[in-house]
A and B are shown apart, each in its own frame.
Chain A
Amino acid sequence: MARRIGVFVCHCGVNIAGVVDVERVAEELRKYPGVAFATTYQYMCSDPGQNLIRQKIEEENLDAVIIAACSPAMHEETFRSVCKEFFNPYRCEMANIREQCSWVHDKKEATEKAIKLVKATVEKLRGNEDLMPIFVPIEKKCLVIGGGIAGIQAALDIADAGYKVILVEKEASIGGRMAQLSETFPTLDCSQCILTPKMVAVARHPNIKLMAYSEVIDISGYVGNFDVKILKKPRYVDEDACTVCGDCEKACPVIIPNEFDMEKKPRKAIYIPFPQAVPSTYTIDREACLGLAPLTCAQCKDACEANAINYDMQPKIVEERVGAIIVATGYDLYDKNKLVEYGYGEDDDIITSLEFERMLSASGPTGGEIIKPSTGKVPKKVVFIQCAGSRDKQHMPYCSSICCMYTAKHALLYKHHVPDGEAYIFYIDIRATGKNYEEFIARVMEEERINYIRGKVAKIYREGDKIVVWGVDTLTGKKVEIKADLVVLAMAIVGRKETKEIAKLLKVAVDDGNFLKESHPKLKPVEALSRGIYFAGCAQSPKDIPAAVAQASAAASKVLAIFSKDKLEKDPLVAVVDEDRCSGCGVCVSICPYGAMQRQPNGKAKCIEALCEGCGTCAAACPSNNIEMRNYKDEQIEKMIEVIV
């Protein structure tokens, strides 16, 4: 216990001394039991200020120190490092007499309060224990969930830095949505052309273990030490043996729609989602295949010269330990069947933006031709509707942030394909905030002479072979009626439902749009509340490719920062459960925002120190008052309150 406390009162220029009578604070504290020395100084945080502390600790033989100055959030670290040269850093405390006194009270009140706060800090300090930092070992391997562009980028960054990565993708191939896109705004690069080199790099990278057609089914543990279980679904085709000759596909009698082509193109029960798929291998769709069990069909096996097909393949569970996790599970489109006002999108000639992307793609269902699905003819009039399901309280209240841009791209590409066609875009307003985006929109408006109509569409219905779109042009106030051949809905972007499942495993929160909730919207945009878990891409919020890539690299750099050390050092101000008196009620386990309180097999709660951020939520909620925060024990707090009131 501290017996010779030194009190250093900071003027902070006039910030504190202009209001608080700092000399009086020092004088009052000199008289207080346990205080051996008290003084004031202009700027305690300056080098001379820090040296003053060093000098007085030695001269006055101090064994603990209080700095009465600004918020501990600012300088606690500074002063504790000074004290560490002499004694345990937890014998150094700060009393906040700036934010809590000089900045908010008048002279007299501020001084009185400052004296009380410092005295209370003396009481707290006397109850402090000497603590040692907690060290946590790190498994320098990262799990990346989701193999879209975001997951791919994050995996490559970490692997390039020399660390192992496990990339888990639930579909047969990595690539995600970007692989489905045609050309990308604002430069109109071919999406697959810029994506596939990265996909191949993943497949080749010695540090990346790619587990496609797999799902994460269990996650436990904490930063540095997550234990994950990954289910490897059987492809019934040996990935290494398959030469992608396609003989099996030709032989297979089952024809079903291909999800990759938004179900607008057929595929077989044995399939490869798209030619450049990684890993490059065929997969048997268990649901569609006739032959798995009982053996009623084996045409693919008979056709396969490489002998790659094995109907007896079983699901496999792989267990891995990783130090960090990046979630990059991407997005879905809002369900168009929920759009009552647009005829539930049931009409063949009302399609979603992703369906239109596939139509534009040379490898897509129409070989890159734009057609009116119901007739197969070239549509001469196309209406694009932005904000379909976005910015709408009935559906998703937020802006999906990329649809203005891709709709402009769609209209432009349409005009390139059908120069004599007419394109109309209904919009609320145009959000083109990226680099060169506004210029892109201007180009579309001016050079391509696309008809931008500011207003919402009220109704869509079929009349003969036309789709009639009714709306109001809010700029002219006139009613607009367009008889279109094709309507393209720029559907709202939503988080995938799989994201919600992964979030549950990770005990992180998702919002109403199924997007992962970051730790701080401004300062920690790629971090989960729990340490060691990071987000990238559209799993966190709707965004375009450059933003998804940037976020992926940001998440990777956070992981690399963890991996750069051999052990994680952690503040030991954690929660401690009195296990004998813990009833296992589960309150703390349920509410710890960091997932640090965990239930043990005997039902009692235990604080995983590596995860605990010392927030105190659990201590306040435990109905048995059974949790104590280190160096914030009940007796300490009671004494502090006593001094203050």
Chain B
Amino acid sequence: MKKKIAMYWGAGCGGCDVSLLGIHEKLLDLLDDIEIVFWPCATDFKYEDLEKMPDKSIDVAFYNGAIRTEENEKIAKLLRKKAKVLVAYGSCASEGCVIGLANLYDKKQIFNVVYLQNETTKNEDKVLPKEHTNDLELPEFLPHLKTLEQVVKVDAVIPGCPPPRPVLEEALEALLQGKTNFGKEVALCDECPRKDSKPEKIEIERFYRWHEKEDNGDCFLAQGMICMGPATLAGCQGECISANIPCTGCMGPTPKVKDQGAAMLSAIASLLGDIDEEKEEEIMNSIRDMIGTFYKYRAAKLLPEGRLKDES
């Protein structure tokens, strides 16, 4: 019997939906074994269709995107009810991703920037989104962005922004065989094409942003360019590195680490060599945008209630 599959697009950029198409002919092979029962982005389904399905009738439901609105939350709960296995698909669903950085601010600050202050925004009447208007009901914009797991129980995670092809292929194969455990346990350096260029002793004297230094083809970290590879789960086979871009950490941490940013920061700080505190501070301060560098993908997971109350 064909496996019944669902895919939903929550708060996200759409890259996850595209990534599923990105497995190309493999998707055609899959189509022999699966039946898509719900995929709003690709096929015409309505929420009522989903509501009408019997509970636990979907074999595997993929949820991509984070939970930003009341609507996202509703569908997440509905999918949970209808599916045997619920999968957090991609970084937004599993850890909040770039849009999770919004948890550093509150709703009012976000609306102000997006609808009023943005250079490219033209909004002379200063209209802000409202839940109820005369002719329209809009879902509520929740106070904080949530990951899927912060709303419902999640059975499996496919990491990545979006999940890279090799990761996805392995995950789909496993899931269709009823397995929820898959993927690597080691960090990216293990499969990085630049691994062998690592010197015996990495010592960082200053940090360079990508454009500040000519890339000599060696391990980025050893060149002083921040590469999240050492703190990031392998599986992508170094997609970004192969395109001469340091890893930014979209695959999330390795299994024994919760706080990927802290893990990388402490590793990086320890590579500064034998220098005095003042110099150390100077070097560390030369990193622009600490949070965007080390917590690009995981802020929401670590800050489910937004920034600590006493700090804001």
Residues of A participating in the B interface, judged by any CB pair closer than 8 Å: 507, 509, 580-587, 589-591, 599, 603, 617, 620-626, 634
Check A581 against B256 for contact (C-beta < 8 Å).
Answer: yes
Residues of B participating in the A interface, judged by any CB pair closer than 8 Å: 185-190, 195-196, 198-203, 219, 221-222, 229-231, 234, 253-257, 263-264, 266-267, 270-271, 274
Check A587 against B267 for contact (C-beta < 8 Å).
Answer: yes
B200 cross-chain contacts in A, Cβ below 8 A: 589-590, 599
Check A621 against B270 for contact (C-beta < 8 Å).
Answer: yes
C-alpha spacing A585/B253, complex, angstroms = 14
C-alpha spacing A162/B178, complex, angstroms = 71
Check B263 against A623 for contact (C-beta < 8 Å).
Answer: yes
Check B256 against A626 for contact (C-beta < 8 Å).
Answer: yes
Check A623 against B202 for contact (C-beta < 8 Å).
Answer: no
Check B202 against A586 for contact (C-beta < 8 Å).
Answer: yes
B221, B253, B267 — most chain A CB neighbours (10 Å): B267
C-alpha spacing A587/B254, complex, angstroms = 15
Check A624 against B195 for contact (C-beta < 8 Å).
Answer: no
Chain A min CB distance to B293 (Å)? 14
B196 cross-chain contacts in A, Cβ below 8 A: 603
Closest to A626 in B: B256
Residues A580 and B271 in contact in the complex (CB < 8 Å), given A590-B203, A623-B230: no
Check B263 against A625 for contact (C-beta < 8 Å).
Answer: yes
Residues A623 and B231 in contact in the complex (CB < 8 Å), given A509-B274, A581-B256, A589-B201: yes
Residues A590 and B202 in contact in the complex (CB < 8 Å), given A580-B186, A623-B230: yes
Residues A581 and B185 in contact in the complex (CB < 8 Å), given A589-B200, A623-B257, A624-B254: yes
A587 cross-chain contacts in B, Cβ below 8 A: 202, 230, 267, 270-271
Please tell me which one of the listed residues B185, B219, B266, B274 contacts residue A580 in the complex, with CB atoms under 8 A apart.
Answer: B185
Chain B min CB distance to A144 (Å)? 25
Please tell me which one of the listed residues B186, B219, B267 contacts residue A581 in the complex, with CB atoms under 8 A apart.
Answer: B186
Residues A625 and B267 in contact in the complex (CB < 8 Å), given A580-B185, A583-B189, A590-B201: no
A586 cross-chain contacts in B, Cβ below 8 A: 189, 198-199, 202, 219, 222, 230
A625 cross-chain contacts in B, Cβ below 8 A: 254, 256-257, 263
B201 cross-chain contacts in A, Cβ below 8 A: 507, 589-590
What are 20 A-B pairs at a CB distance below 8 A? A581-B255, A582-B190, A584-B190, A585-B230, A586-B199, A586-B230, A587-B267, A617-B270, A621-B270, A622-B263, A622-B267, A623-B254, A623-B263, A623-B264, A624-B186, A624-B257, A625-B256, A625-B257, A626-B256, A634-B256
C-alpha spacing A195/B262, complex, angstroms = 58
Known contacts A581-B255, A583-B187, A623-B267; 11 further A-B pairs (Cβ under 8 A):
A582-B186, A583-B229, A583-B230, A584-B195, A585-B187, A585-B267, A587-B271, A623-B230, A624-B187, A624-B256, A625-B256
Check B230 against A624 for contact (C-beta < 8 Å).
Answer: yes
Check A584 against B270 for contact (C-beta < 8 Å).
Answer: no
Check A584 against B189 for contact (C-beta < 8 Å).
Answer: yes
Chain A min CB distance to B278 (Å)? 15
C-alpha spacing A439/B202, complex, angstroms = 52
A507, A586, A591, A624 — most chain B CB neighbours (10 Å): A624
A624 cross-chain contacts in B, Cβ below 8 A: 186-187, 230-231, 253-254, 256-257, 263
Chain A min CB distance to B184 (Å)? 9
A585, A589, A590 — most chain B CB neighbours (10 Å): A585
Please tell me which one of the listed residues A581, A590, A621 contacts residue B266 in the complex, with CB atoms under 8 A apart.
Answer: A621
A590 cross-chain contacts in B, Cβ below 8 A: 200-203, 271
Chain A min CB distance to B109 (Å)? 32
Residues A603 and B195 in contact in the complex (CB < 8 Å), given A585-B187, A586-B189, A625-B257: yes
Chain A min CB distance to B273 (Å)? 9
Check B254 against A581 for contact (C-beta < 8 Å).
Answer: yes
B199, B219, B230, B266 — most chain A CB neighbours (10 Å): B230
C-alpha spacing A624/B186, complex, angstroms = 8
C-alpha spacing A580/B186, complex, angstroms = 7
A599, A603, A622 — most chain B CB neighbours (10 Å): A622
Chain B min CB distance to A80 (Å)? 31
C-alpha spacing A581/B222, complex, angstroms = 21
B231 cross-chain contacts in A, Cβ below 8 A: 623-624
B267 cross-chain contacts in A, Cβ below 8 A: 585, 587, 621-623
Closest to A507 in B: B201
Residues A591 and B274 in contact in the complex (CB < 8 Å), given A623-B187, A624-B230: no
Closest to B185 in A: A581
Closest to B234 in A: A583
A626 cross-chain contacts in B, Cβ below 8 A: 254, 256
Chain B min CB distance to A597 (Å)? 11
A599 cross-chain contacts in B, Cβ below 8 A: 200
B186 cross-chain contacts in A, Cβ below 8 A: 580-583, 624
Chain B min CB distance to A509 (Å)? 6
C-alpha spacing A509/B198, complex, angstroms = 21
C-alpha spacing A587/B263, complex, angstroms = 11
B254 cross-chain contacts in A, Cβ below 8 A: 581, 583, 623-626
C-alpha spacing A410/B230, complex, angstroms = 59
Closest to A582 in B: B186
Chain A min CB distance to B168 (Å)? 21
Chain A min CB distance to B221 (Å)? 8
Closest to A604 in B: B190
B266 cross-chain contacts in A, Cβ below 8 A: 620-621, 623
Chain A min CB distance to B93 (Å)? 23
Check B263 against A603 for contact (C-beta < 8 Å).
Answer: no
C-alpha spacing A591/B263, complex, angstroms = 15
A582, A584, A617, A626 — most chain B CB neighbours (10 Å): A584
List the 3 closest pairs (A to B, CB-CB), nearest first: A585-B230, A583-B187, A623-B231
C-alpha spacing A589/B199, complex, angstroms = 10
Chain B min CB distance to A440 (Å)? 38
Closest to B202 in A: A590
B253 cross-chain contacts in A, Cβ below 8 A: 624
A623 cross-chain contacts in B, Cβ below 8 A: 187, 230-231, 254, 257, 263-264, 266-267
Chain B min CB distance to A120 (Å)? 22
B255 cross-chain contacts in A, Cβ below 8 A: 581
C-alpha spacing A585/B187, complex, angstroms = 8
B189 cross-chain contacts in A, Cβ below 8 A: 583-586, 603
Chain B min CB distance to A312 (Å)? 36
Closest to B204 in A: A590
Closest to A628 in B: B256
Check A591 against B270 for contact (C-beta < 8 Å).
Answer: yes
C-alpha spacing A626/B187, complex, angstroms = 10
A591 cross-chain contacts in B, Cβ below 8 A: 270-271
Chain A min CB distance to B195 (Å)? 6
C-alpha spacing A603/B187, complex, angstroms = 13
Closest to A593 in B: B274
Closest to B263 in A: A623
Residues A583 and B188 in contact in the complex (CB < 8 Å), given A620-B266, A623-B231, A623-B257: yes
A621 cross-chain contacts in B, Cβ below 8 A: 266-267, 270
Chain B min CB distance to A540 (Å)? 17
C-alpha spacing A583/B194, complex, angstroms = 13
C-alpha spacing A617/B270, complex, angstroms = 9
C-alpha spacing A509/B254, complex, angstroms = 33
Chain A min CB distance to B303 (Å)? 21
B202 cross-chain contacts in A, Cβ below 8 A: 586-587, 590
Chain A min CB distance to B207 (Å)? 16
Closest to A621 in B: B270
C-alpha spacing A586/B187, complex, angstroms = 12
C-alpha spacing A582/B191, complex, angstroms = 11
B230 cross-chain contacts in A, Cβ below 8 A: 583, 585-587, 623-624
Chain B min CB distance to A334 (Å)? 23
C-alpha spacing A590/B195, complex, angstroms = 14
A620 cross-chain contacts in B, Cβ below 8 A: 266, 270
C-alpha spacing A617/B230, complex, angstroms = 17
B270 cross-chain contacts in A, Cβ below 8 A: 587, 591, 617, 620-621
Chain B min CB distance to A456 (Å)? 28
A509, A583, A591 — most chain B CB neighbours (10 Å): A583
